[in-house]
Amino acid sequence: MFNKILIANRGEIACRIIRTCRQLGIATVAIYSEADANAQHVLLADEAWLLGPAPARESYLRAGRIIEIAQQSGAQAIHPGYGFLSENEDFAAAVATAGLVFIGPPASAIAAMGSKSAAKRLMEQAQVPLVPGYHGLDQDPATLQKAADSIGYPVLIKASAGGGGKGMKVVESSANFASQLASAKREAQASFGDDQVLVEKYLTQPRHIEIQVFADSHGNCVYLFERDCSVQRRHQKVLEEAPAPGLSPQQREMMGNAAVNAAKAIGYVGAGTVEFIFDTLSGQFYFMEMNTRLQVEHPVTEAITGQDLVEWQLRVAAGEVLPLAQAQMAINGHAIEVRIYAEDPDKDFLPAIGHIRQLRLPPQTAQVRIDSGIVAGDEISPYYDPMIAKLIVHGANRQQALQRMAQALAQYRIVGVTTNLDFLARLVAHPAFAAFDVDTRFISRFRDDLLPAATTPPASAIAALLLDGLLQQSASAEQRRLASSEPNSPWHSSSGWRLNEPYHQTFHLSSGVERHSLNVGFAASGYQSEWSGQPLLFNGQRLPNGELRLQLNGRQFNAEIISLGNEHHVYVDGCHYPMACYDPVLDGLENAETNHNLTAPMPGTVVAVLVQAGDTVEAGQPLMVLEAMKMEHSVVAAAKGTVAEILYAVGERVAEGVELLRLEDVA
């Protein structure tokens, strides 16, 4: 076994690898960019070396420098994690040439599966079922268009060298093919340095099922069952579970054997994932691609098998035989993983950046696991993937796992950056998901349920926020009383008593675009107000842990408020309600003028300007394309108008909220 390894990655996967290395007594070497100088993987490793500036091409993609650091630090092997250089055959070959061990498959296996087109041709020769498509080398747009027209729409354009949904576009008609092809090629070039694509028939009700395979250098290869990764947004996974619901033992065995045969066909060694499209209408499965690395979702496989896959990787890379044979493995229970991202689901899941001001995790147990490289105080930057953490739960069956996931999500607290936590909570609670009426278009099918329009907060949330403010005022008044030279003066009373009439206090609250002014009066049993035409009679106290215990209209319950200035996050009944207090005199937002100016919905880089000054545009017409975190977003016209001025050119970086171009009303 190795004495020291270098981890050529960052974030949660680097922390995950460090954890197993510590258990095995292996020293770890971390690498980091200037933006990651204080990151958790840097602090957890035994030593850490600076690579360069924040952009990945100047740091985490510097293959030569990473190998130099490994040699200088005395590391014997390099673990690439996932992403960055993990599936780069040139890097794997260079590591071996330098006399180091690459903790992954041989470069030849990466090369064989690195091109989706070449992999499809290889699998076709091995008689693995394939989705009808074009996997050729001729990348002329006319050739690709002809192939798509022949296959029949809808079709899927995929980056041949890609993964993670980057460079992937669904095309519904021939008229849209050219523009979607251009966009897919731009994303592919930006993400992988290769704009080659393939075109396939897009199945309308598919599931995404993948098989975890493992092979050693002694000719042994096994599969560690399957994961269902059908719940996706922008072709990127949001939730994964193992085993795949509804899969028969015969289907599981057929897919597992096909995956093992695929691995053996390329002389595979180490951890790999063979991904299949499963047609829910026919029950047939088709080879999609093979990821020649550890997957983000590997913890659900670990949960149902009781195995540490990183330890398996290390042992296989050190030349050992696989720890278990196929007949020794069995499925235990059910596991679900959700990916917690800094993103805004209400804005088509746009990546978000910001400073994590508050972070509290649900209690971790044998059934609840959190993999993360983020702590309170960290920044989510525009340079890397915006995943904050992976939350993994295990249960005796799927129903129990769902219940544990719902409870853990309700206990999660992240304040300071927009996240998908509320969306995930709605997802796991959805009746169709509980019944596993799931395919890869689940989110779009139930979009109205999963991404509902903003609603007025319930009385429980309003009462909690009012009580929190009143208790804070009472505590401040008590501090002033004790500090006063006349602590028993009636002027220090906070009971709300007045000589001739009841005392009322007005609170001004906002929730989304809604604004509310509430008069709160002091009653004999506490406080009284009105919300949505219904009376609020409430009282309560602050508990030692900071939460509130409320009595509202005869009901008792707990609530929690996390406040950042006038911004308040109310957690009650398992839901999160962001609200704010405002001063109607000082607040000028109500009088803001509307216009047709267009602003950046996220920080990013301008990759295309689709109009010129003087052009007349229609509502919904794309005007500019931004790229952030290697994903593209089109900025469209909200109304018909004339382009008056374009303020940014291709290649320029823009901050969130800046004005990109100006439109004038059509005369």
The CA-based angle 241-246-251, given to 5 degrees, is 100
User: Residue 479's pLDDT is what?
Assistant: 74
For the chain, how big is the Rg over CA atoms in Å? 28
8 Å CB contact between 451 and 398:
no
- Residue spans of the domains in the chain: they are 4-103, 132-201, 335-453, 455-475+503-592, 593-664
441 carries an active-site annotation: no
Ranges of the chain with pLDDT below 50: 588-595
Burial of 231 (0-12, 13-18, 19+ CB in 10 A): buried
- Domain spanning 335-453: CATH superfamily: ATP-grasp fold, B domain (3.30.470.20)
What is the full DSSP assignment across 231-267? Answer: EEETTEEEEEEESPTT--HHHHHHHHHHHHHHHHHTT
User: Residue 190's pLDDT is what?
Assistant: 85
8 Å CB contact between 268 and 221:
yes
How big, in percent rounded to 5, are the helix, strand and coil portions of the chain?
30, 35, 35
Task: Indicate the class that CATH gives domain 455-475+503-592.
Answer: alpha beta
Q: How far apart are CA 75 and CA 31, in angstroms?
A: 12
The Cβ of residue 364 has, within 10 Å, a number of other Cβ atoms equal to 12
pLDDT in tens, 250-298: 999 999 999 999 999 999 999 999 999 999 888 889 998 899 999 999 9
Of the residues 227, 252, 293, 339, only one is catalytic, namely 293
Q: How far apart are CA 470 and CA 450, in angstroms?
A: 34
pLDDT in tens, 427-467: 999 999 999 999 999 999 999 999 998 889 999 999 999 99
User: Residue 501's pLDDT is what?
Assistant: 55
User: Residue 119's pLDDT is what?
Assistant: 86
User: Residue 593's pLDDT is what?
Assistant: 40
Select from 650, 421, 485, 460 the least CA-distant residue to 549: 460
8 Å CB contact between 648 and 606:
yes
H/E segment holding residue 644: strand 641-646
Within 13 Å of residue 375, how many CA atoms lie on the same side as its CB? 9
The Cβ of residue 607 has, within 10 Å, a number of other Cβ atoms equal to 17
User: Residue 620's pLDDT is what?
Assistant: 80
Q: Per CATH, which fold does 132-201 belong to?
A: Dna Ligase; domain 1 (3.30.1490)
The Cβ of residue 104 has, within 10 Å, a number of other Cβ atoms equal to 29
The CA-based angle 643-648-650, given to 5 degrees, is 110
Is the CATH number 3.50.50.60 carried by domain 4-103? no
Give residue 76's identity as a one-letter amino acid code. Answer: Q
Question: What is the spatial order of strands in the sheet that 101-102 belongs to?
Answer: 47-52, 27-33, 4-7, 77-79, 101-102
Specify the CATH architecture of the domain 593-664: Beta Barrel (2.40)
**Beta strands in 141-292, from DSSP E residues, in sequence order:** 155-159, 168-171, 197-201, 206-215, 221-233, 236-242, 270-279, 285-291
